[in-house]
Structure 1
């Protein structure tokens, strides 16, 4: 097996030598080296297809060092989608279409596309909140039926741009996080002014609208459950870890980037729900997170890992809130789960090793 066939390229958005998640990629590099896999970080904009070379960075001798590498046989896509992704997309697509390259998994498209896939599953559909593309008539319909709505950007992350609109005495209470991830709350008295606010707030971006679900504890603390599922060294899906993310009482989301914290799932459930309901919740979460990656992969194509965000309302009903194909791992460090933390880092390399064996029929 040639050197580039035993290499794993972590594709991310680099600005020179600056890129996020350096600590995670350092650990991936070190774990890969133990297993004879050369791991390096590169930007899709730095690939030279004529020479089949790429400028990238490798962690050696205690520091990140630049180097020129052969285009790797396997790519781990950590190129987060955002406003500037359009500058990377053509290069990513060229790599995806290269027959000599295998992606560990392909990134999911927007929330709407994912919802359209998942709603076709008889197991998953009952646990998906009613979801529409945001239009003023769709918002009106949701408010009239449920009394409160959530609007969220189709391509948003970290709870940025998520807003609750709630019928209130004297008008509408609007609260959430703006584009700078700053919390806000205001009362808008007239329907006409509400429509003007929504048009201004969502300008230039596509949003979804859903009923507002009571995803909080009895004292009003918002929370959700992050479940990390990953492919293992045999190519099979496995749950790496589960944790609860708690938000600030003044917030409507529980995202860690909005100042939230994390706690273990089992102790949290037993504190907030009766034992019979805890048993049912645990069973449903297991059923959903077992079904979802396999079902989604059938429609979407190969995936390597998913962060599945699960909501639990005040009655103990379980909802699928969001699915992320480029999940973070901070939550498992925050709850001091060293096994989940270790697996979250090592599984992508184990799966890469499995794919390498598959490509050459064993070695």
Structure 2
């Protein structure tokens, strides 16, 4: 691709050597200093001070555990009616009338959990549902990165994250969804930027560790800008799911991903 991140290694970024991955906070530190083809929501470690900063902005924000996936224990905080609505992925919500009570609720809910606090990216919904675009990068048998494909994940009714498929959520073809949201020129530009973004992330991570599968999740704003929501990599607990692509009407991308995975396993086994 025609985009390369700067040749820069941040010594303050740390790989979890037990699980062999970068948690959400380390991934943010790794990516944030670079000029990339997407935007990253402002993120900080959760503390009384960082909460006060986000509350002062009077805009929605998220609390996320640094080491979970699939939307586990994410909460969305929305300032309203002079207080704050604390909403969980399962739809449960509580109204807290003051910053102090919000802090106590968060300290209780996230006790013994390291978390980040992150601004709400300007996500453009589809049919009044939260969506994101999953981009999958896959390393081939020779070690080169391939753009394996993309799809749209659609959150269920009232879901605060798009990877919770209950109440009518699921996956959809990227071109179909984007074509219902943008004109032809914008769709092509977004698709081009998705590919640039996938390669930019993969090439940058190569400075730190030799991953073989990357799943990056993006939202799109009203102007067609990409916002990075999360980066998932293969680690000792597994890898970004190929099976998401199996849910698409066209199974071609899933079949190609599985075939490439088998091919590289055979090749690397022979080589070793």
Contact 1:217 1:314 in 2 (8 A): no
TM-score by length of 1: 0.64
Tell me, in whole angstroms, the C-alpha distance in 2 between the residues paired with 1:354 and 1:219. Answer: 44
1:248-295 CA deviation, whole Å, 9 max, x = no partner?
A: 231110114555300000010010123332232222211111111111
1:81-125 CA deviation, whole Å, 9 max, x = no partner?
A: xxxxxxxx9xx96xxxxxxxxxxxx8423111111112233225x
Tell me, in whole angstroms, the C-alpha distance in 2 between the residues paired with 1:328 and 1:246. Answer: 16
Total equivalences in the alignment: 251
Contact 2:154 2:165 in 1 (8 A): no
Tell me, in whole angstroms, the C-alpha distance in 1 between the residues paired with 2:263 and 2:127. Answer: 42
CA 1:190/1:256 → structure 2, altered by over 3 Å: closer, same or farther? closer
Gapped regions of structure 1 (runs ≥ 5): 1-88, 94-105
1:100-157 CA deviation, whole Å, 9 max, x = no partner?
A: xxxxxx8423111111112233225x52111111112112212323512111110111
Which of 204, 207, 217 in structure 2 is aligned with 1:295? 204
Task: Identify the structure with bigger relative contact order (alpha carbons < 8 Å, sequence gap 6+).
Answer: 2
Q: Which residue of 2 aligns with 1:135?
A: 47
- 2:81 is the counterpart of 1:173: no
TM-score by length of 2: 0.84
Tell me, in whole angstroms, the C-alpha distance in 2 between the residues paired with 1:108 and 1:183. Answer: 30
CA 1:254/1:207 → structure 2, altered by over 3 Å: closer, same or farther? same
Instruction: Please list every run of at least 4 consecutive aligned residues from structure 1 whose deviation after the TM superposition is greater than 6 angstroms.
Output: none
Which sits farther off after the overlay, 209-218 or 160-169?
209-218
- 2:34 is the counterpart of 1:121: yes
CA 1:336/1:138 → structure 2, altered by over 3 Å: closer, same or farther? same
Which of 150, 154, 157 in structure 1 is aligned with 2:62? 150
User: Helix, strand or coil: the match of 1:252?
Assistant: coil
Which sits farther off after the overlay, 154-163 or 183-192?
183-192
- 2:130 is the counterpart of 1:222: yes
User: Helix, strand or coil: the match of 1:233?
Assistant: coil
More helix by share: 1
Q: Which residue of 2 aligns with 1:273?
A: 182
Which of 251, 267, 270 in structure 1 is aligned with 2:159? 251
